[in-house]
Structure 1
């Protein structure tokens, strides 16, 4: 037999085996009486994960739109692993809240080894079982209303520096305007560092500390982390002998060193104590007998959860207000000209409605993936039951729900009024299971109050000081970035700030 023919025969046989490996279970959901979305070898139901031609949220939305009138759930495949896309808001609300016990873990916890990635692996969002509950119970008091109020003067001081920084940047700006995401990340880095650790990241100077660059490096490398997750879905045993940390060894050492320095400084100068998050963690260390490594890991939750996501929300809120001068002026009229106390800041309903409407349009969390932890039965629209078993994964199409005209009139328009208390407020949509930027139920984001305070404080100072306009470089639609895992406008947000 010809050697070349044999070689091609071997190649064909190998490819056939690969094809079978990738597709052999594509009838998994049909056997269980559930409609299945179109799926392909290697890419499963979400080809954009690999093609990068559009955001994966649009793949999910295509499936959502196709099945939402006929089914409460639809089978999908993440690479070759069967998972369930839940479409029905009633079930989604049960998954998050009333029947939380059966869905208490997040799938992301399957891909993180806390021994390899100490910082991310010990985050309450990642932890599973009783560990997340214990860690959350330890962290939540540090985010109490009184502690957020205690650091509000720090936030105000940072906001004033932020405004001066924008003024300087605008004077040097080119015709392309200013990068709102970059500006916002400078702010969140500075305010979180100061409120949590009591140090300045020097974000508004020409020589920022390495903290700014390190944060950007960590989150910009998240694409590698996503690729690892994809490979682990194709071949789950890889998780047993290899784990890719989001915080690599260099980043881990960097943050541990910062914490060590801050702790030393705080202990050496007890007269400078303040009722902030680090002070709370020191109290927790004494109470729980935590070593410095454990204390660092705990405190990093406050830091890492506040940088990127809050910057995204701030930059998109600025974009929405710049696009809508009438709403921008409404906020300006609401905040007035006088310095606001913490209590007054919490009573700005229209500003808060603008933030929530921005979160609806650009939710940092485009989808959520929950692990089944206890057997649970769902019933489809046709009456057929489906039993889910521990280890199964359900996908929540957050972005699709937020843009569904069945729940939001003219869903692609910026209408803050829909979140005013007179119209039912946030609770109305959250209780329906259709507003989920922070999640819901027992594992709802613990830092909501802190994040909203930092957002409102920054927006108040900016709107008092500037008229905000959209630079022509910024696209006019809400098209999502093709590859970023969180919601952000494709092409970036470029704004112009005119001093008032």
Structure 2
């Protein structure tokens, strides 16, 4: 009996090991250099066993997993050493084979010139839109013709005229943001920068998209932050979907789990439905987002679920990314007071003393404000990596590859955005905040090189880029115009990412102090 049980356990262990290790060697068999990887942990062990953020694994591609083999191997070897001799290396996201691109020229091909062969995001493999109607129309998780159709419906929402109209309300919300800072500063407690950014972003998006006041700067706000954490930080469903995608890369759609928490769906669903009901009852001809959404419903015969999903695209794509960028930019400006002072002088010149923000057209043209924002996105990119699926056969001709590599439909490529942004070959002293990198045509130069992907690139770059830039710049400009920003002692030094937060965020939180400027 005991002998049979032992044999059964051994058989199960061997079967599990073979299953986890089966794909290892996939790239080597195709003639691609394949750094060291482990069963289950793959090439990015910190995604499974987080001692540091896995984006650092991607940046350095740890061949030797030093926390397991430190006594055996003298030191880890890093991917950076391959950049001068390899255009790409074979990697594994758990069990899923990924071609990690190292040469910017090839990254530009995938995102721009050869887009038709890599038009699908890998995120679509994690989602069953029938189970998650909230994201069924979100262009980020859609493929092929469905992506083109929904993006074609959503993109006309974001015209310059509507963003300009939203900016009028945005100015009032920036005033409320500064008044909130003034009032809360009396307590002497530091500000949580991420919370402050989320309060502004939720108030702005709720107002301009749904026509609802989120009451973010009152003592009784809508619980946006709580539900946002349920979706982005404490979402075991999303973690499960990611794990299944890593373990079973070709998992049938019907077996993919629901990723939107029911409580999140109820909260936002009720608000969106109430918003549309009120606007239908009190029809107002306004050039705003909610009116245009209702017009789209009639024009494209959208169902209520599709209409809700389009409205929620603003929330999914804008809440976390914008609030995080605002918080990180404030942190970096606080650490570099000379940069903060230069930004203040630019803002003071662009608007009168009693004017919190410059005019809409001028705001987008302020070079140093744009440079500060782009340098923040370089250091703390909202998306630290991208994964694309090959949809048509394509051949890579890498500068460091002796033979061309034929990519087949279904193959995945990974783009190490965080690694590119922190590569000293492109950005000398990458750990330093230097906005001047992006002045005098710097942004265009880095984009053409394929080494700056703050908002992505090509046809599938962030669909809400103009709205995101406008609200981020408005928040930063209003705060810096009125306050000096200082780092609180609770904030950890360095630019280390929190390993337990999937989207790159400063480890330990962003804690800030504000001092009213004397104008």
Give the TM-score, by structure 1 length: 0.95
Secondary structure of the residue aligned to 1:309 is: helix
Contact 1:151–1:275 under 8 Å retained in 2: no
Using the TM superposition, name which of 322-331 and 406-415 deviates more: 406-415
Query: Within 1, Cα distance between the matches of 2:147 and 2:267?
Result: 25
Contact 2:237–2:260 under 8 Å retained in 1: no
Secondary structure of the residue aligned to 1:28 is: coil
Give the match for residue 369 of structure 1: 387
Secondary structure of the residue aligned to 1:394 is: strand
Give the one of 218, 221, 236 matched to 1:208. Answer: 221
Q: Identify if the C-alpha distance between structure 1 residues 398 and 21 changes in structure 2 by more than 3 Å, giving closer, same or farther.
A: same
Contact 1:83–1:394 under 8 Å retained in 2: yes
Using the TM superposition, name which of 354-363 and 38-47 deviates more: 38-47
Post-superposition CA distance 1:88-115 (Å, at most 9, x none): 1000001000110000000000110110
Give the one of 107, 117, 123 matched to 1:108. Answer: 123
Secondary structure of the residue aligned to 1:436 is: coil
Give the match for residue 50 of structure 1: 48
Give the match for residue 383 of structure 1: 402
Q: Identify if the C-alpha distance between structure 1 residues 370 and 254 changes in structure 2 by more than 3 Å, giving closer, same or farther.
A: same
Matches within 5 A, 1:60-459: 60-63=58-61, 64-174=79-189, 177-222=190-235, 224-236=237-249, 238-271=251-284, 273-336=285-348, 337-338=351-352, 339=355, 340-380=358-398, 381-420=400-439, 422=440, 424-459=441-476
Query: Within 2, Cα distance between the matches of 1:216 and 1:10?
Result: 43
Contact 2:455–2:465 under 8 Å retained in 1: yes
Contact 1:45–1:77 under 8 Å retained in 2: yes
Matches within 5 A, 1:472-491: 472-491=489-508
Secondary structure of the residue aligned to 1:149 is: helix
Contact 1:196–1:303 under 8 Å retained in 2: no
Query: Within 2, Cα distance between the matches of 1:236 and 1:433?
Result: 28
Deviation at 1:495, TM superposition (A): 0.5
Query: Within 2, Cα distance between the matches of 1:123 and 1:216?
Result: 20
Deviation at 1:7, TM superposition (A): 2.1
Deviation at 1:66, TM superposition (A): 3.6
Residue segments in structure 2 that go unaligned for 5+ positions in a row: 62-78
Deviation at 1:121, TM superposition (A): 3.3
Give the TM-score, by structure 2 length: 0.92
Using the TM superposition, name which of 372-381 and 360-369 deviates more: 372-381
Post-superposition CA distance 1:360-408 (Å, at most 9, x none): 0000111100010111111341322211111111000000000111111
Aligned residues: 493
Query: Within 2, Cα distance between the matches of 1:225 and 1:243?
Result: 10
Give the match for residue 33 of structure 1: 31
Q: Identify if the C-alpha distance between structure 1 residues 310 and 261 changes in structure 2 by more than 3 Å, giving closer, same or farther.
A: same
Query: Within 2, Cα distance between the matches of 1:417 and 1:477?
Result: 20
Query: Within 2, Cα distance between the matches of 1:223 and 1:497?
Result: 36
Query: Within 2, Cα distance between the matches of 1:415 and 1:223?
Result: 37
Give the match for residue 66 of structure 2: none
CA RMSD of superposed structures (Å): 1.5
Deviation at 1:450, TM superposition (A): 0.6
Deviation at 1:240, TM superposition (A): 4.1
Query: Within 2, Cα distance between the matches of 1:287 and 1:116?
Result: 26
